[in-house]
A and B are shown apart, each in its own frame.
Chain A
Amino acid sequence: MSIAATTARQVTLATGKSKDKTPVSLAFLIALWFSMFFGVLVLLALIVNTAIDGSTRFDSELLTNYASIVRPESSGFRAGILGSLWLMVFTALLAVPLGISAALYLEEFADPTTRWNRFVEVNLQNLAAVPAIVYGLLAVAIMALLGFQNAGIVLGGALALALLILPVIIITTREAVRAVPREIRQGSLALGATVWQTTWRQTLPSAIPGIATGTILGLSRAIGEAAPLVVVGLAGSVLFDPEGVMSRITALPMQIYSLTSNSREELQQAASAAIIVLLVMVLGLNALAIFIRNKFQRSW
């Protein structure tokens, strides 16, 4: 939003406030406050409730042991945590270069007025809202085309997650690229640089904080997602570390999902503790993204 618009808003806020003292408008304001903070309260309840349930299991065995039904009190999530990290790396390798180049093409090279490019635009917006589980079905089909009968491996999981977050990465990258002022491009072009030289040396470096924020948010979504992984056929638990892209793995959300069907007290506690680990990973990535946005993003 431009500075002019925000100052205008602040001025009107100042004038509107004096008439806000009637009971009805105060009640309205309280209702708005409530809707603002209801979600946060739920999130707090969720974290506190889960942390209390899992408090008995905050030990190093939670991170270093494999899952065990024989000794549920020391069952751990080593395979899930490692699996999630592997998935995140390979998802990023698949989705980030493709997403950034697609976004650069759409912003810097394509003519947005043509019917074809408007179709690409609508298509992207739709893809961002396609249910995650459908991407699992697509990943299964692609893996079958590539000749893999069992898609429950690093490659299959990463493929499903990469398909899922690709639209998110493209859309956020486009926004970041669009925010770079036109004058920077024109200056570069006027000095004789080609469109690609301008994009690579001027636009892209200026847009990196925004791109990083979008990419990290996309990856944090990928790391918490379980639905496409269920469809791809990732195991609920494995008892070895991932060794390569063909290695069968599990993921932290998958392990949590498979534990919910087991009613044993110790395993429920372990699941609660694992949820805290997952939340730390996901919310940590979110916090990192917000930090990068606030710290490095330039406003022109």
Chain B
Amino acid sequence: MSTSATAGPTGPSSGTGLSAAVDLSPKSRPGERVITVVLQLSAYASIAITFGIIAALIQPVTEFFSEVPFGDFFAFDGTYAVLPLVTATLMVTLIALLVAVPLGLGAALYLSEYASRRARKILKPTVELLAGVPSVVYGFFALTFVTPTLLQEILALDVGFTNALAAGLVLGVMIIPTIASLAEDAFSAVPQAMRQGSLAMGANRMQTSLRVVFPAALSGVAAAVVLGMSRAIGETMIVTLAAGALKQFSLDPRDGMQTMTGFMATTAGGENPVGSVAYNNLFAVGMLLFVITLVLNLVSISFVRRFRQVY
């Protein structure tokens, strides 16, 4: 500190000549400040996006509800009824989760508990590749292979050209990586000591995985399932192509049924003029979709936080 003591009296004007004194007071750096502000603004742009989404939706949605009463929107019948879309979405999502939860968690357990380090390095990107396939490709596959060949020919099911079953199955395959990757994080976060304790008691790897690792990572598993559900609800092209464009309330997965996202894609691709009630209906459904996925995402994020805190 002796240098700063001698440098003290010279003050901020010490930049002249070859003075040995070092000025340690914070120097004003306008360039640095500008850069920080620019970076800060771009970080806050992400907040602006969230509020932008809400702002973009609110105006058409209020217009929509000024012409269509609430009761006509949250109804099972009628032009603007949204509940058939919601039930169709839930049906497709349920089928997708029935496929993706066991397979995703199985893959995650294998990666975290059984695979060697080298195997994991190869297998993990392979599983993640499934999420990289464009959804329009999955939709085309559901339409041209799963429905006609797998369901109608091989399994001899009486399904329509478009049906919730094919869409749900393919959607399930698409969200396997979402569930697997988050669940694997949770399994890996379980402390090694817990596994060692279990193995030392004489349990084998299956017992350790199922009775120690899995329960210990339960909040992470829940986060993975909820995030997978959110993805399934928001996925568009598979359901637009394979689940059909017929808005109807049905609990039979062999029927074609239009989901919320399917409705949005069909309406947006249609000929409705901007500002018409039918066009604003798109934004009302979009708002509902945004709210549902927002709630699910927040639930998932809070579960993730829980397992990060515990270990």
Contact = CB atoms under 8 A, between A and B. Distances in A.
Nearest to B129: A286
Contact of A134 (B44, B177, B195, B289): B289
B114 interface: yes
A16 B208 contact: yes
A159 B139 CA distance: 24
Interface residues of B, number: 97
A231 B268 contact: yes
Interface in A43-70: 43, 45-46, 49-50, 53
A110 B47 CA distance: 15
Interface in A128-144: 129-138, 140-142
Given A45-B145, A131-B235, A286 B43 contact: no
A32 B105 CA distance: 9
Interface residues of A, number: 99
Contact of B106 (A16, A32, A104): A32
Contact of B36 (A35, A40, A109): A109
Interface string B103-115: 1111101110010
Interface of B: 29, 32, 35-36, 38-40, 42-47, 49-50, 52-53, 55-57, 102-107, 109-111, 114, 116-117, 123, 125-127, 129-130, 132-141, 143-145, 149, 173, 176-177, 188, 192, 195-196, 199, 202-210, 227, 230-231, 233-237, 240-241, 261, 264-265, 268-269, 274, 282-283, 286, 289-290, 293-294, 296-298, 300-301
Interface of A: 1, 5-6, 8-10, 12-13, 15-17, 19-20, 22, 24-25, 28-29, 31-36, 38-40, 42-43, 45-46, 49-50, 53, 97-99, 101-106, 109-110, 119-120, 122-127, 129-138, 140-142, 149, 163, 166-167, 170, 194-196, 217, 220-221, 223-227, 230-231, 233, 253, 256-257, 260, 268, 271-272, 275, 278-279, 282-283, 286, 290
26 contacts: A35-B104, A38-B176, A40-B126, A43-B129, A102-B39, A102-B43, A102-B45, A109-B36, A109-B40, A126-B301, A127-B49, A131-B236, A133-B289, A137-B56, A138-B49, A138-B52, A166-B45, A223-B134, A225-B135, A227-B135, A253-B134, A256-B136, A260-B140, A268-B144, A282-B133, A283-B133
